Amino acid sequence: MRNIELYDTTLRDGSQSEDVSFSVEDKMRIMQRLDDFGIHYIEGGWPGSNPKDAEFFRQARKFKLNYSRLAAFGSTHRASLPVDKDPNIRELLEAQTPVVTIFGKTWDFHVKVALRVSLQTNLDLIHNTVAYLKERVEKVFFDAEHFFDGYRANPEYAVKVMESAAAAGADCLVLCDTNGGTMPGEIGAVVSAMAGRFNVPLGIHAHNDSECAVANSLIAVEKGASQIQGTINGLGERCGNANLISLIPALKLKMKLNCITASRLKKLKDVSRFVTEISNLRPFKRQPYVGDSAFAHKGGIHVSAILRHPETYEHMRPEKVGNYQRVLVSDLSGKSNIIRKISDFKLKIDPDSPKVTDVVNDLKRLENQGFQFEGAEASLELLMKKSFGLHRKFFDLIGFRVIVEKRREGEEPLSEATIMIRTPQGVEHTAADGNGPVNALDRALRKALEKFYPRLKEVSLIDYKVRVLTAGKGTDTNVRVLVESGDGKHKWGTVGVSANIIEASWQALVDSIEYKLLRG
């Protein structure tokens, strides 16, 4: 079976999406999830372009990837500097990644107008950079920027660029449809012409400006490309990049190519939802393969047919990508998901217990209110433990009050929270201030509990996100709060939903603390 390498650029291209901004911690979490998923190469960012990416690579050096190879991204050295004196090249090496991906100009128009150097100088920049890096890292990939535009305008020069990178030792030549305007037929013809020409594997990097990025990537693979670059959920600048969430099952299940194991493919929906939550975006219900509507059937002939045999109106079994069939009229699905989570959470529960159905119904009710448990599995585990009688209550809230006071124009508001709780050991009444009302409430709750549960001192709030759930209602709407917490050894996510942002935050904070106390 032919092998295809998966190269993920979510942490760089994805972060360039409008409305998306990953923190360093976000990038670390996504990297770890992609490693667990089985992506071959993870592009972490451009260490020479901004402090955030440089910090990410400093932290990533301390983390051992089990499967993936981390790549740093950058450009060829500047024409005004020797390759060994260029600070961007130095930053790439200081990232200490096993793989470096370099992009260079292949369109003569860009060489003359953007770089403003001679065509030969551009060839030299590419050759010098690839050769210099190849002596110092395990693998160097060359992204041939604007390759299809360049090949259309001046095929002889575009080929020379590829030859220059190949001669310098590049491990893969990646053909980039940078403007995203090339049609599948042209992509196929050009890749076919390039295949086998350089004695170096070819890759494809497609943008989605013409809604063809997935199709372009698949036809490139069909014509000989062996590395496919893209992002989770198609995130990326402008209209986005090729969507790996659509590409991976197409490669594995439709084209019968070896790119990921069947067991890892079952994590596809979870990975998609995880990155959606971290991106603070709304899940796309109709997303192929993983969307809630991808295998949903409503009424009439379709429902009657799929209940007899799913293949009558489904192109594949949804379980292969971690999704499930839904019959919207009677809503028969969901129980299998809970049974799987019982195993994931190592709960000693009989899968045939009628309480499993109760959990399914609870989840449906909560999801109708706006709860989503992707990225908040600690809250899901707590919900299941409560339903199965495995939950232990550590404290009861008697009451809390949060005050936000702004004393004069130009000064930051002051936030203070007062809280009273009851534990088996007694009642505690305390207060704390904070950098905002949620931070004040978090600090007051911890202050009240740490006397009774000292191990809570290990817990820190790592991330906090808010999403408006009902468009068009302005400030009079439900919000969902997603909190990530950690104790130095583990990280977990919790969720709360309410029309009151403080109440939603309280729900997520309480779940976070109860999860820690149950884990010990």
User: Residue 474: its pLDDT value, please?
Assistant: 61
Helices (H) and strands (E) in the chain, counts: 18, 16
Structural tokens at position 311:
């293949």
Give the burial string for 354-388 (b: 16+ CB within 10 Å, else e).
eebeebbebbeebeeebbbbbbbbbbbbbbbbebb
3-state secondary structure of 98: coil
CB neighbours of residue 115 within 10 Å: 18
Helix (H), strand (E) at residue 498:
strand 491-498
C-alpha to C-alpha distance for 444 and 404, rounded to whole angstroms: 14
User: Residue 235: its pLDDT value, please?
Assistant: 98
User: Residue 333: its pLDDT value, please?
Assistant: 40
User: Residue 344: its pLDDT value, please?
Assistant: 77
User: Residue 472: its pLDDT value, please?
Assistant: 60
Residue 22 Cα distances to 97, 108, 275, 373, 381, angstroms? 20, 34, 10, 20, 26
* pTM above threshold 0.75: no
Report residue 488: phi and psi, to 5°: 95, -25
Question: Can you list the domains of the chain with their CATH numbers?
Answer: 5-260 (3.20.20.70), 396-519 (3.30.160.270)
C-alpha to C-alpha distance for 40 and 68, rounded to whole angstroms: 5
Report residue 157: phi and psi, to 5°: -70, -40
3-state secondary structure of 245: helix
All residues at 6 or more sequence positions from 305 whose CB lies less than 8 Å from its CB, including other chains: 312, 313
3-state SS of 255-301 is CCCECCCHHHHCCHHHHHHHHHHHCCCCCCCCCCCCCCCCCEECCHH
- Tens-level pLDDT at each residue, the chain (520 residues): 799 999 999 999 999 999 999 999 999 999 999 999 999 999 999 998 889 999 999 999 999 999 999 999 999 999 999 999 999 999 999 999 999 999 999 999 999 998 899 999 999 999 999 999 999 999 999 999 999 999 999 999 999 999 999 999 999 999 999 999 999 999 999 999 999 899 999 999 999 999 999 999 999 999 999 999 999 999 999 999 999 999 999 999 999 999 999 999 999 999 999 999 999 998 898 999 999 889 887 655 666 676 677 888 889 999 999 998 876 533 334 566 677 678 778 888 888 888 888 888 888 888 888 888 877 889 989 998 998 889 888 999 999 999 999 888 888 899 999 999 999 988 999 999 999 999 999 999 999 999 899 999 999 988 899 988 876 666 668 899 999 999 988 889 999 999 999 999 999 999 999 999 998 7
User: Residue 135: its pLDDT value, please?
Assistant: 97
